[in-house]
Amino acid sequence: MNFSTPVFRVPKALFRTILLMLFVFSSASQAAIIRVTVENNASVGGLSFTPLYSAFHSAAFDAFDVGGTASAGLEQLAELGGASTLASERLMVDPGSVGGVVFPTGGMRPLFPGESGYREFNITDTVSNQYFTFLSMILPSNDTFFGRDNALQLFDAAGYFLGNQVINVTGADLWDAGTEGLDTTAAPFIPGNTPTDSPADALGVIRAAESLASFAGITLANGQVLDANLIDFLSDPASFNVATITIEQIPEPAIASLFLAGVLGLGLAARRRKVHLN
Ligand SMILES: [Ca+2]
Ligand SMILES: [Ca+2]
Ligand SMILES: [Ca+2]
């Protein structure tokens, strides 16, 4: 019997293609496309909220601390729903971070009761941007917003996604920004109102949200009348269902096409070799 086996030689072109594919897949772990879906869980007559501000960032950025004072960016978000100042503040301390707002499927406006929407974010550096922050202004209110004091970790230190997450936003996630006192005539989302930056908030610090009961019975910008029974988030905050936010990683088309290119490269290399040998 002949035990000698032919030595298998990897053609150079094939070897280069394999190296390229290994490189593509190793660097792919540093990037991710994340879909953020947000749903307003209120019934008709309940609270609306502004497009969900979403940010993927490092530990350098912290949008707020309960007990502290709001930045100009958080004040703008909590009083008017705008995110431009907050985005500038974030980019100042964390230039590589990624952010944007998630609108409802219905258009570029607040999420009314029952509405949902989603947006995909391309996180090109998941090692740097391990954390996720979400914020939104409650409508109607003067300076009430929802969010988490501590950002959620989505990626580990090596940049690997820790898995899909479902965040249940409850009454316990509602905060008063401490930047404007209660005045139903100064709040946005109410036809006829001109939102103003007054009266001043007596306490001036970020704290658990206060009752919005004085807004009950008012006809809102979405045509619905705010129902007193649907806005009591203080009796049992943890059971008061505000929103559901879903964080999912979705397959990257770029990686799929690079993989396809790699496979085609293998095929071409094999064909070229065959042609050469023939
Ligand atoms: Ca904080
Ligand atoms: Ca203010
Ligand atoms: Ca306030």
Contacts of 65 (CB under 8 A, 6+ apart): 149, 206
Split at pLDDT 50, 70, 90, the class of 278 is very low
- Closest ligand relative to 205 C-alpha: 3
Q: Give percent of the chain with pLDDT exceeding 90.
A: 79
**Domains of the chain: residue spans and CATH:** 31-253 (2.60.40.2130)
pLDDT, position 11: 72
pLDDT at 175 over 90: yes
Amino acid found at 91? L
Contact present, 38 and 111 (Cβ < 8 Å)? yes
Report the distance separating Cα 117 and Cα 104, nearest Å: 4
Please tell me which residue, 55 or 253, carries the higher pLDDT value: 55
Instruction: Average the pLDDT over each of 22-31, 138-147, 204-213 and give the range with the smallest value.
Output: 22-31
The radius of gyration computed from the CA coordinates of the chain, to the nearest angstrom, equals 25
pLDDT (tens digit per residue) in 32-54: 999 999 999 999 999 999 999 99
Report the distance separating Cα 211 and Cα 195, nearest Å: 19
Contact present, 139 and 116 (Cβ < 8 Å)? no
Ligand 2 center from residue 54 Cα (angstroms)? 22
Ligand 1 center from residue 153 Cα (angstroms)? 13
Ligand 2 center from residue 131 Cα (angstroms)? 28
Ligand 2 center from residue 139 Cα (angstroms)? 16
Ligand 1 center from residue 104 Cα (angstroms)? 27
Ligand 2 center from residue 46 Cα (angstroms)? 24
Q: 173 is written with which tokens?
A: 């996630």
Question: What is the value of pTM for the model shown?
Answer: 0.83
What average pLDDT does this structure show over 58-86? 98
Split at pLDDT 50, 70, 90, the class of 277 is very low
pLDDT, position 217: 98
Residue with tokens 């593509």: 24
- What DSSP element (H or E) covers 139? strand 131-139
pLDDT (tens digit per residue) in 213-223: 999 999 999 99
